[in-house]
Amino acid sequence: MIKLLLLVVVSRRDGESELVLEHLRCAVAPAVRITCFFVGRTHRHRGVADTALAGTLGEIARLGGGTVESYPENTSNRKVSGSFLHNGTVPMFERHGFTRDRLIGKHRWVVSRVLS
């Protein structure tokens, strides 16, 4: 059995947010992929996704590491609606040590990092 990690950021009524970590078990694990961030409209542009990414990377490292991959949007030199940023932004991932591997859309990249 393989453990997977689910990280959820919960926004409380008092305006604060907290990270909730859940460990899931499954028979087959894919490569470690960070596929989606959801940040409520009133909590955007406050570093919530950045904090969630940092927490997720810490847990992946604690659980043994490996190659981590994601598919963020490149927002350099253009305005992008938050509804298109469910995978986060390339600059956010690059701040956490990810490198661009390949372009998979007009502005979407595969980024990766190896954690040990």
Does the pTM exceed 0.95?
no
Question: Can you read off the two tokens belonging to residue 81?
Answer: 């609606």
Distance from C-alpha of 76 to C-alpha of 50, rounded to nearest angstrom: 17
Distance (Å) of CA 47 to CA 23, 50, 87: 24, 5, 14
What's residue 76's pLDDT? 85
Per-residue pLDDT in tens (0 to 9) along the chain, 116 residues: 445 555 555 555 666 655 555 555 544 444 688 888 888 888 888 888 999 899 889 888 888 888 899 999 998 888 888 777 888 999 999 999 999 999 988 899 989 998 88
In the chain, where the domains are located: 29-115
What's residue 15's pLDDT? 63
What's residue 86's pLDDT? 82
* Highest CATH level, class, for 29-115: alpha beta
What's residue 99's pLDDT? 95
Residue type, 38: F
What's residue 19's pLDDT? 56
Distance of CA 97 to the CA centre of its chain: 13
Q: What is the DSSP letter of 74?
A: P
What's residue 28's pLDDT? 41
